[in-house]
Structure 1
Amino acid sequence: MIGVWVSDPLNNLLGRRGLIFVTGLGLIATPLGMAFTRTWGQLLAVRLLMGIPYGAKAATVSVYAAEIAPTAIRGAITIGWQLWVTFGIFIGMAANVIVKDVPRIAWRLQLGSAFIPSVPLIFLVWLVPESPRWLMKKGRYDAAFAAFCRLRRSPLLAARDMYYSHVLYEEEVALAQGTTYWSRLTDLFRVPRIRRASLGAFTTMIGQQLCGINVISFYSSTVFREGGYTNDQALYASLGFGALNFAFCIPALFLVDTFGRRSLLLSTFPFMTLFLLLTGLAFLLPDSQQSTRTSLVAAFIYIYTVFYSVGEGPIAFLYPAEVFPTVHREQGMAWGVWANNFFAALLGLTFPSLLRGLSPVGAFCLYAGLNTLALSWVWCFVPETKGLTLEEIDQVFSVPTRHFIHYETTQWLPWWFRRYVLFDRKAQLVPLLDWETDREANAQRRSAA
């Protein structure tokens, strides 16, 4: 949680690539340090130290991906972060299975092996261009255009994207209270357009914790043992959870830019709620039906994981990376990652007590209710960003929240009912924004300026 807040000055100093390189070095040193600790205090100290490069990297990688990606595939490129996070979780669970019978040093191997992915990272990061939007912020326009040319199919497309980005950036600087660290931080909650983006980012990030996935990930072996599995069986069941989490993140690469961010969240949260509820109810089966209980617990958790992996899982870090203005993007992403990590720690620390106090039935039913809460927040505070440039997203968040909720309730919901329940293919949806009118208004404003 400390690391996310130092990402802004480090980004300003080192750039996106430089920060990723430096944090990669930190994420090589700290896992190796944990493997060689001798006391609990040393392990805790190194673990806390590791949080700094991890937090800074988590607040930067998705921003970098969103800034370099073409609009049509920005979602797929950006959720590559989540794809490889889930792969890392799967590899970590596989490592647990591999070293389960190794005496004494198993935990050292588990913790120390985390340095391996950072080794190729610190070399490969120099093969990609720096973010052209970061270069423009630094006044390095020749380098920014060269970066855009590497990232677009033709110099003409590169010039177009650079022009749009530069014009909007100049407007953002003029509207911002200031460009200092603290002024940009307060803008997240002071400026209406940025405050709406902060609320949307917070909703997707906190939704990842309210849905219960990290609790299941952290305590998967405990959950499966509560369902009647032996220790070894619980490890293998956890491995299955990790495999599904990774495998079903892959379809999200193809759905996020066609089906949309908001649509994926609204269509997956109800199923996540249902299968968490069914998981909790499965624990009510008596010991005489233990084989049935263990099978149902695993099946419902696995199905829940499938819906998570194509919805909330990849979108949590994608959405905050694309909704903030260029001036505030580092601070906005830091805010979102901080909220995610804070509630991950809070829920992770309280889950064992929750499990003892409410039993598995109560704990899973509680998280089913929290999924419903997250769904309602998505409905109110998360506009669609599919197919929009980072600059067009600025206009989406200029719409007041009450107007957005009114539009979704009175226009989008009736259209959805006619189109997908009554199968009326002629149903027409009135758009939230008139893009042509807005573009003309923006052009007039720029000419006047």
Structure 2
Amino acid sequence: MTVFMFILAAAFEVDNSSRTPIIILFTLLFCAIYSFTLGPAAYSLAAESFPSSVREAGMAISVFINSTFLGALLVVYPFVTAPIGYTASLCIFGCIDALAFIACFLFCVDTRDRTLDELQYSFDLPLSIHCAYRLFYVMPEAWKHYSKLVLRFFGKKDGTEDEEAGPSDSEVKWGLVPFHRWAWIEYISTSSRIRCSFNRR
């Protein structure tokens, strides 16, 4: 979405009529990706993030805030665009999208295939632990996984596939340890062992 926003901003700098198909194409792509990702994800995350005792109220407040700021954005955007133009305004929103991606990556807990108890445990942990999980576990694992896929792809393309490259693409399975389990292994159990050894002394 950030990339499409910057492409749209650059398209408005083109003076001739050839920019119209580009603007239409990337506007549709932006809307399509939003409809399948951040659009419904905001509501599902709000429905799963609150404890069961206040889930309905929390969901209602979240939807209210989301709809309020959406309406405010629709009202304010023409006044923002008038003095600075479409290119500058779209660049501003592209930067906001980039910051939102970083914030979601660091702070949004994955709720897929999690029980309510696992979700409650995950949300009870400090955000600093979740940031450490994303920065020091997810990012290195993603780098190793996708670098292997890229090297294997170019090795096949050049006809020089390495025999030690490992299993084929169909056999490669990327299974990350869930956050609640990783936090227990890396922090909770480790701190418990340290506390026990300290008490023994």
| TM category, shorter | 0.7 to 0.9
Q: Assess if the C-alpha contact under 8 Å between 1:415 and 1:428 holds in 2.
A: no
Q: Which residue of the partner structure matches residue 38 of structure 1?
A: none
Q: Assess if the C-alpha contact under 8 Å between 2:2 and 2:95 holds in 1.
A: yes
Change (3 A) 1:329 1:431: closer
Please point out which of 331, 341, 353 is paired with 2:79: 353
Deviation string 1:145-164 (CA, Å, 9 cap, x unpaired) is xxxxxxxxxxxxxxxxxxxx
**Which SS does the other structure have where 2:143 is aligned?**
helix
Change (3 A) 1:352 1:428: closer
Q: Assess if the C-alpha contact under 8 Å between 2:118 and 2:180 holds in 1.
A: no
Q: Which residue of the partner structure matches residue 124 of structure 2?
A: 398
The 1-side partners of 2:47 and 2:58 are apart by: 8
Residue 428 of structure 1 deviates from its aligned partner by 6.6
The 1-side partners of 2:83 and 2:99 are apart by: 22
**Which SS does the other structure have where 1:385 is aligned?**
coil
The gaps in structure 1 that reach 5 residues or longer are: 1-271, 439-449
Residue 326 of structure 1 deviates from its aligned partner by 1.2
Root-mean-square deviation (CA), in Å? 2.2
Q: Which residue of the partner structure matches residue 92 of structure 2?
A: 366
Q: Assess if the C-alpha contact under 8 Å between 1:282 and 1:296 holds in 2.
A: yes
Change (3 A) 1:314 1:429: closer
Aligned length: 163
Please point out which of 434, 437, 444 is paired with 2:181: 434
Q: Which residue of the partner structure matches residue 381 of structure 1?
A: 107
The gaps in structure 2 that reach 5 residues or longer are: 150-165, 167-171, 186-201
**Which SS does the other structure have where 2:134 is aligned?**
helix
Q: Which residue of the partner structure matches residue 339 of structure 1?
A: 65
The 1-side partners of 2:131 and 2:53 are apart by: 27
The one-letter code sitting in structure 2 at the alignment partner of 1:373 is L
Residue 320 of structure 1 deviates from its aligned partner by 0.5
Residue 413 of structure 1 deviates from its aligned partner by 0.8
Residue 389 of structure 1 deviates from its aligned partner by 2.1
Please point out which of 315, 327, 347 is paired with 2:41: 315
Q: Which residue of the partner structure matches residue 4 of structure 2?
A: 275
Please point out which of 293, 303, 308 is paired with 2:29: 303
Deviation string 1:152-200 (CA, Å, 9 cap, x unpaired) is xxxxxxxxxxxxxxxxxxxxxxxxxxxxxxxxxxxxxxxxxxxxxxxxx
Deviation string 1:377-406 (CA, Å, 9 cap, x unpaired) is 101210101001233211111221001101
Alignment of 1:93-132 (within 5 A): none
The 2-side partners of 1:428 and 1:344 are apart by: 36
Q: Assess if the C-alpha contact under 8 Å between 1:282 and 1:297 holds in 2.
A: yes
Change (3 A) 1:392 1:370: same
Change (3 A) 1:285 1:416: same
Change (3 A) 1:406 1:317: same
- The TM-score, its normalising length taken from structure 2, stands at 0.74
Residue 312 of structure 1 deviates from its aligned partner by 0.4
**Which SS does the other structure have where 2:180 is aligned?**
coil
Change (3 A) 1:433 1:316: closer
Deviation string 1:287-324 (CA, Å, 9 cap, x unpaired) is xx21x111111011111112112110111111101121
The 1-side partners of 2:173 and 2:39 are apart by: 34
Residue 356 of structure 1 deviates from its aligned partner by 0.3
Q: Which residue of the partner structure matches residue 198 of structure 2?
A: none
The 1-side partners of 2:37 and 2:173 are apart by: 28
- The TM-score, its normalising length taken from structure 1, stands at 0.34
The 2-side partners of 1:329 and 1:282 are apart by: 43
